[in-house]
Chains A and B, each alone.
Chain A
Amino acid sequence: MGVLIGFVWNQVLINPFTNLTVALARALFGSYGLAIIVFTLLLRLVTLPLTIRQIQSSKKMSALQPRIQEIQKKYSDPKRRSEETMKLYKEEGVNPAGCVVPLLIQFPVLIALYEVIRITLGSTPESLIDLSHRLYPWPFVQHAIPLTSHFLWMDLGAPDPTFLMPLLVVASTWLSQRLTMTQQMQTNPQAAQTNQIMLLFMPLLFGWLSIKYPSGLALYWVLSNVITAVVNYFIFDWHGTPVTEILGLRDFSLSSLNPFSVGDPKRRQARRRPGPRPATEPAPAADGTTAPSRSAGSRAETAAAQAKRSTRKPKAPPVAPPATPVRARRTPGGSDNGAADTRSSDG
């Protein structure tokens, strides 16, 4: 069985990816850096439907969180809770595994690409011997060896000695994670703690990996994160929204970086700015876009965001009732008591 898996792994993923990157390098002036960039773009293009599905599924799940929490409060029986939750998912057309399946498909692709970069750049003589077994018998590919591993300031086959790429990896991973998690954190306080931990550890983990491993991998990862951020931007339709709001940084404090001092969710809710609790989910706008859901008591929307999202007739600002004219009351003696005698507004 292991042999079969290994055969499939090599013949379906590793060898085709290897040959594709080598062919791209040869076509792109011998530059493996350009080959990685083009390969990443092609790969993300092919997996774009999965990526969009993953983000949309995540978005739908976030939108349902308030209703799920209501179910949690309403039913004490775990079985009933589960049934009602699944019923809700079915009604709304959400697959709870919808955000996981695309990840399960993309994950082996990521591992394969790591292996490809490690094999293809052949920085050690032993790895070059291994490469000879993987190249297809096409002269265009065979004659591409050795590849140029230098790109910009980096040797793609070695870690970046300037640490600039690891910093880019940390920043882009954080950005990509933050954009995905902001919506979840606003609607699901319980997920917020988990997400906080991931938001700290994932960028650091990948940053650490990029210090240890070839900078070609870091180049792929940074570009991949940027593409994810761009896709998020369009799916969540953040055009015109302030950056601080997109990243959920309005209430940012240094202590929020510590995942172990997230605190009691109830206390965090109490610290949130009081605001009107929407009675229902915001209705979709005429152009089909849906505003990101907000939890009760969340920060008020900016005027720009309101104007953008809502195509309904904007609410007129509250108008104060006209002031009741003040009439002086004359007493029978003809003297003015000097005090304004206002009538109440209802009478």
Chain B
Amino acid sequence: MRGAPRRLLLAAPFALLLLLVTSCGAIGSPQGWAAPVVTAQGILSSVHHGFLTLTNPTTKQAIWQFPPAQNKNKIDLKGIYSTPVVTPDDQSVIFGAYNGHVYKLRLADGSQLWDVDTGAAIVGGVALAGDAAIVGNSDGTIEALAIDSGKQIWRQKARDRVWSTPVVDGETVYVASMDKRLYAFKATDGTQLWVNDSSAGALAATPTVAGDRLYEGSFDKHVYAIDKANGTLVWRSPKLANWVWAQAVMGDGRLYTGTLDGSVYALDANDGHIVWQKKIASSPVRARPALAQGVLVVADRAGRLEGYDPATGAPVWQQPVELNSTVLADLVVQQDGSVLIVTEGGSGGSRIVQIDPKTGATSVVGTS
């Protein structure tokens, strides 16, 4: 074979390879794991990847979606990890996106009121403190923005990514950073009150405030109890099986959390010793567990749900529930005691699932 056909044959593999590798560019792109938020007008969620949706739980249909379908401004959120927060007047919602922007939308119709570019991807949620919305980003920047205008009120800097949600308690905001430090700032003006660097590993979990203490899970496989007044270490738990990324929930003097090897732990809140330990499977537990109607509901990444007796760790359901979808978003307890879970992809599909903690029975309240 000579001439042009031979040359084309020689060039063809390169063209095919180029097509293949460029189509594989989506591998490793951000997915998002914002938890659902129940509002008077519907359920806010990121069940549609890269969009914030308000869903009618009765009809299970979307009321609005942001960015809107026409998307004249070509907004690309890239993924939403940040759980949206409804403003005190129940009229609007604020959230951060992986594209680095913080958005405020009108809750009724999803129209944009303002957006602020923080300069780096946002993974943690937004915390409200008075008239300010406080958020951290992947650059280590912690910003307080005025709720009504988005104007910056104050700004602080951690040494590495802030992937946790700031926690506001009174006039203090606590922020955990991947620089292995836990910070306390004055919520009104950002003055640093103290820093705790007890952890040897990165801090990605959102701190839990209970009483006069903060509880924080670390990538060094320990959970720490910190005095929230002065930042001193109260106790450090025994070494757990893997990194702790799930926010701990507190109930009856015990802390409940999961690790990235699929284990679930109950720790004594007083001194940190392990009360009980179970293993769901081998898939990571990243979602915050839910304590509802006397049952501890835990989900792993593969979509396997278990209900445990919080006191003993004994399974409550006859068998685990398999959602056959990825679950990374925090579990949310509704007012009626049921638990909401957002799933993504898999054979089960992307949807909002409601589960009865007593029986493990599930129903779908929103779909993609």
Contact = CB atoms under 8 A, between A and B. Distances in A.
Chain B associates with chain A? yes
B272 to A, nearest CB: 19
A208 B260 contact: no
Given A132-B261, A259-B7, 13 more contacts: A123-B28, A126-B28, A129-B284, A129-B286, A132-B242, A133-B261, A143-B201, A143-B220, A193-B10, A197-B11, A208-B22, A212-B25, A260-B4
B224 interface: no
B213 interface: no
Nearest to A214: B28
B268 interface: no
B7 A125 contact: no
A127 interface: yes
15 contacts: A118-B27, A124-B29, A124-B30, A125-B30, A125-B33, A126-B28, A127-B28, A129-B286, A132-B261, A139-B220, A143-B219, A194-B10, A213-B25, A259-B7, A262-B7
Contacts of B245: 129
B75 interface: no
Q: Which of the four size classes fits the interface of chain A? A: 20 to 34
A259 B7 CA distance: 8
A133 B242 CA distance: 9
Contacts of B161: 146
A201 B11 contact: yes
A122 B366 CA distance: 31
A118 B24 CA distance: 13
Contact of B163 (A125, A126, A143): A125
Contacts of B221: 142
Given A124-B29, A129-B286, A146-B160, A205 B14 contact: yes
Contact of B21 (A126, A142, A145, A209): A209
Interface string B142-172: 0000000000000000001101000000000
B260 A133 contact: yes
B200 interface: yes
Contacts of A124: 28-31
A260 B28 contact: no
Contacts of B10: 193-194, 197
A209 B27 CA distance: 13
B199 to A, nearest CB: 9
Residue among B28, B242, B261 with the highest chain A CB neighbour number at 10 A: B28
B260 A132 contact: yes
B202 interface: yes
Interface string B290-302: 0000000000010
Contacts of A133: 260-261, 284
B200 A139 contact: yes
A134 B4 CA distance: 49
B245 to A, nearest CB: 7
A197 B25 CA distance: 25
A133 B243 CA distance: 9
Contacts of A139: 200, 220
A201 B243 CA distance: 44
Contact of B260 (A118, A129, A193, A262): A129
A145 B14 contact: no
Contacts, number: 77
Contact of B202 (A118, A127, A146, A262): A146
Interface in A193-218: 193-194, 197, 201-202, 205, 208-209, 212-213
B7 A126 contact: no
B81 interface: yes
Interface residues of B, number: 39
Residue among A124, A201, A259, A262 with the highest chain B CB neighbour number at 10 A: A124
Interface of A: 118, 123-129, 132-133, 139, 142-143, 145-146, 193-194, 197, 201-202, 205, 208-209, 212-213, 259-260, 262
B145 to A, nearest CB: 23
Contacts of B22: 208, 212
Contacts of A128: 204
B69 interface: no
Interface string B241-271: 0110100000000000000110000000000
Contacts of A197: 7, 10-11, 14
Contacts of B4: 260
Nearest to B30: A124
B31 A208 contact: no
A259 B6 CA distance: 12
Residue among A118, A126, A133, A202 with the highest chain B CB neighbour number at 10 A: A126
A99 B328 CA distance: 48
Given A124-B29, A132-B243, A142 B201 contact: yes
Interface in B194-210: 200-202, 204
The 10 closest A-B pairs by CB, nearest first: A201-B14, A132-B260, A124-B30, A132-B243, A146-B178, A212-B25, A143-B200, A197-B10, A260-B7, A146-B202
Given A142-B201, A205-B18, A259 B11 contact: yes
Nearest to A262: B7
Given A129-B245, A132-B284, A194-B10, A145 B219 contact: yes
B7 A145 contact: no
B277 to A, nearest CB: 17
Contacts of B226: none
A118 B28 contact: yes
Nearest to A157: B28
Contacts of B201: 142-143, 145
A134 to B, nearest CB: 11
A132 B328 CA distance: 15
Given A208-B22, A209-B21, A126 B284 contact: no
A262 B81 CA distance: 54
A206 B282 CA distance: 37
B17 interface: yes
A193 B10 CA distance: 9
Contact of B18 (A127, A129, A143, A208): A208
Contacts of B284: 129, 132-133
A262 B4 CA distance: 11
Nearest to A119: B28
B47 interface: no
Nearest to B17: A205
Nearest to B242: A132
A205 B201 CA distance: 40
A193 B286 contact: no
Residue among A143, A193, A202 with the highest chain B CB neighbour number at 10 A: A143
